[in-house]
Amino acid sequence: MNIWLIMLVGGAITFLTRLSFIAILGQREIPAWLQRSLRLVPPAVLTAILVPELIFHSGSLDLSLGNFRLIAGLLAALVAWRTRNTLLTILVGMAVLFLLQAIF
Amino acid sequence: MEPTRISLFWAGVRAELPILLGVAPFGMIYGVLALDAGIPPAAAQAMSAIIFAGSSQLITTQMVEMLIPGLLIVMTIAIVNLRHALYSASIAPYIRHLSPMWKCGLAYFLTDEAYAVTIVHYDQEERTAYDHWFFLGAGITLWTAWQLSTAAGIFLGTAVPESWSLDFALALTFIALLFPTLKDRPSLAAAAVAGICSVLFFSLPYRLGLVAAVLAGILAGVWLEGRK
């Protein structure tokens, strides 16, 4: 399949996935139980994307002190929790990672 | 003072701006890898507008490089993007009153990063008639940054060394986005269970583990809520 065709089909699928429930749920009243569960989507998705990024190191589980991303991530999480400042969280996390990589 | 369309649009832009620090390196990395995979520069740039989904684009470049058949690539894109259906369901109640045109436009902008700041806005602030302008502001800001950083990656090519670990910036962005969503015990439980399950299901193909972990997290949160 041509790269442009792959992109067009892939783009259409992506768009329709994003439109799916916006289009469907627009027609009817949304039940309260569904509304309550949807409220939990953001914390669940963000954690599920994040955790493997931090604790898998080239494909295998790494919970040791040698996993710099985990250490930098935990410190950044502390900053995010205390300050709620996105910029500061990213800067501290990157700084810690660079520092650990430079020292060890 | 009642917020106007313009003031909400700019509030969306401002909310999205810090996130760009994590997104821009990711866009550059995509640009570099797309060229490495042998995708022509014009196609690599167009993909950022046509698909406009970072992880799908990265997986597409990997699969193109491995000469995997197009049908399989397209199916993988569909599965990797399943989480967007959850975003769609979660944002739908807030924008159901809008015209089909607005709904289609906002659906196009429904990325991880625009969704995360917009849903926090919808949850925390008082509803006004023009909240969708906040969504639009966040979406356009992210879109612009994504196109520009893709172009920068294509232009700079391998001048961006891997040892800078710039991809880590995106993970940090998600850390920053996560905390405002942890409001009560059910949301904490949803996050904890989703996090644990994302590790347990890590080896599932096509990132199906992500969707499974999210559903497990939501179930845990709903169960906790039901016990109260």
Q: Check pLDDT > 70 for residue B228.
A: no
Instruction: Supply the pLDDT for residue B52.
Output: 96
Q: Check pLDDT > 80 for residue B117.
A: yes
Listed range (A30-34, A91-95, B104-108) with the worst mean pLDDT: A30-34
Q: Check pLDDT > 80 for residue A49.
A: yes
The Cα A7–Cα A5 span in angstroms is 5
By the 8 A CB rule, do A17 and B78 touch? yes
**How many contiguous H segments (helices) and E segments (strands) does chain A have?**
5, 2
Question: What's the average model confidence in pLDDT over B41-48?
Answer: 96
By the 8 A CB rule, do A75 and A93 touch? yes
The three-state secondary structure class of B182 is coil
B181 contacts in A (CB within 8 Å)?
42-43, 46
Q: Which residue did the predictor score with more confidence, B44 or A65?
A: B44
The Cα B103–Cα B15 span in angstroms is 21
Instruction: Supply the pLDDT for residue B160.
Output: 67
Q: Where are the domains of chain A?
A: 1-34, 40-104
pLDDT-derived band at B41, boundaries 50, 70, 90: very high
By the 8 A CB rule, do B92 and B64 touch? no
Instruction: Supply the pLDDT for residue B69.
Output: 86
A83 touches B at CB < 8 Å: no
Instruction: Supply the pLDDT for residue B209.
Output: 86
The Cα B9–Cα B163 span in angstroms is 37
- If you search the block for the tokens 């684009």, which residue do you land on? B57
Q: Which residue did the predictor score with more confidence, B136 or B63?
A: B136
> Which helix (H) or strand (E) is B171 found in, with range?
helix B168-178
B136 contacts in A (CB within 8 Å)?
none
Chain A residue whose CA is closest to B119: A42
Q: What is the pTM of this model?
A: 0.86
Conformational region of residue B183, where left means phi above 0, alpha means psi within -120 to 50, and beta covers everything else: alpha
What does each C-alpha distance from B31 to B83, B94, B170, B203 come to in angstroms? 23, 34, 15, 27
By the 8 A CB rule, do B212 and B201 touch? yes
Main-chain dihedrals φ then ψ at residue A61, nearest 5 degrees: -65, 130
B214 contacts in A (CB within 8 Å)?
41, 44-45, 48
A3 touches B at CB < 8 Å: yes
Side chain identity at residue A102, one-letter code = A
